[in-house]
Amino acid sequence: VPLEDTSLPLYYGWFLLSSVQEKVKSAAMGFLKTLESLDDFKNHLDDFAGKSVELEQYFEAKAALHCTTKFCNYGKAAGAKEYAQNPAVVKSYGSVFELSLTALFITPRTVGARVSLTEEQLHLWPADGEKEVESDVPAAASLPPGSRAHVTLGCAEGVQSVQTGIDLLQILALQQAEAPAAKELELGSLRYYGEGRWMLELKEPVRAPACFSSFYG
Ligand code: ACK
């Protein structure tokens, strides 16, 4: 393997500053606790293998909280080198941005936060970010760039974190087709999308300062 290829990271992304990680984790815990207490949720427990579930235990935390922009797989992923050489990427490397976490969602596979990117942040979003998963979510290509942006908060046993962005795109595709009625909660508007998919649009987005950088592993 040529040296220049091995110098590419596993992925690029925004890494939440440690001071805000706890805030985001406790917002997620609050969401799971609220959800568990709702009859609507209890009526759909079949989605989660029918067991009585303790959501806090059902999901396990993965890596330090971050929002992936480009998964490079050490240069093996398509477009990895081009992304690394993009002037916007080079210029922003190491800078702190403020991410806006606008919704929290769960599925039987993952729990995550939706990140709503600004114009400036979208310059760091890869052109193929959504199209890449068209085989899983056929409607993905018709969603606006940045739709997949998320922070993985946890995954069910045996589930890889790449699933969180796919689950988010699936929910957004359903939302685009026809958003179900919302239940208004103190934290925001909660909607059920079938098959164990729930999304809470936060009344107050969580602002999370995050450093644009990369992870080598
Ligand atoms: O939670 P995530 O966004 O999902 O962060 C991790 C990170 O890269 C390290 O695994 C994400 N990831 C893994 N595979 C892919 C992929 N093929 N496309 C996009 N993101 C990916 C994973």
In this prediction the ipTM stands at 0.98
Q: 170: closest CA among 99, 102, 100, 106?
A: 106
- The verdict on the CB of residue 164 being under 6 Å from ligand 1 is yes
From 150, 151, 167, 210, the catalytic residue: 150
If you average pLDDT over every residue of the chain, what do you get?
93
From 66, 70, 191, 197, the catalytic residue: 66
Evaluate whether 152 touches 110 at the Cβ level (below 8 Å).
yes
The confidence band for 54, taking pLDDT boundaries of 50, 70 and 90, is confident
For 170-185, what is the mean pLDDT? 94
Q: 82: closest CA among 120, 126, 123, 146?
A: 126
Query: In this structure, which residue's CA is closest to atom 15 in ligand 1?
Result: 162
Q: Is 150 a catalytic residue?
A: yes
Which has the minimum average pLDDT: 47-51, 58-62, 87-91, 169-173?
47-51
What CA–CA distance (Å, rounded) separates 72 from 145? Answer: 18
3-state secondary structure (DSSP) of residue 61: coil
- The verdict on the CB of residue 161 being under 6 Å from ligand 1 is yes
For 116-125, what is the mean pLDDT? 98
Asked whether residue 52 carries a pLDDT value surpassing 90, the answer given is no
Asked whether residue 51 carries a pLDDT value surpassing 70, the answer given is no
Evaluate whether 79 touches 126 at the Cβ level (below 8 Å).
yes
51: its two tokens: 């067991």
- The verdict on the CB of residue 34 being under 6 Å from ligand 1 is no
pLDDT score of 173: 95
Q: What is the DSSP letter of 158?
A: T
- The verdict on the CB of residue 162 being under 6 Å from ligand 1 is yes
User: What atom in ligand 1 is closest to the CA of residue 68?
Assistant: 3
97: its two tokens: 């941005």
For 108-125, what is the mean pLDDT? 98
C-alpha of residue 161 to centroid of ligand 1, in Å: 6
Q: Is 66 a catalytic residue?
A: yes
Q: What is the DSSP letter of 173?
A: H
pLDDT score of 1: 56
Q: 105: closest CA among 147, 138, 137, 158?
A: 147
41: its two tokens: 């949720």
Q: What is the pTM of this model?
A: 0.95
pLDDT score of 187: 93
H or E element, residue 179: none
Query: In this structure, which residue's CA is closest to atom 21 in ligand 1?
Result: 162
Asked whether residue 191 carries a pLDDT value surpassing 70, the answer given is yes
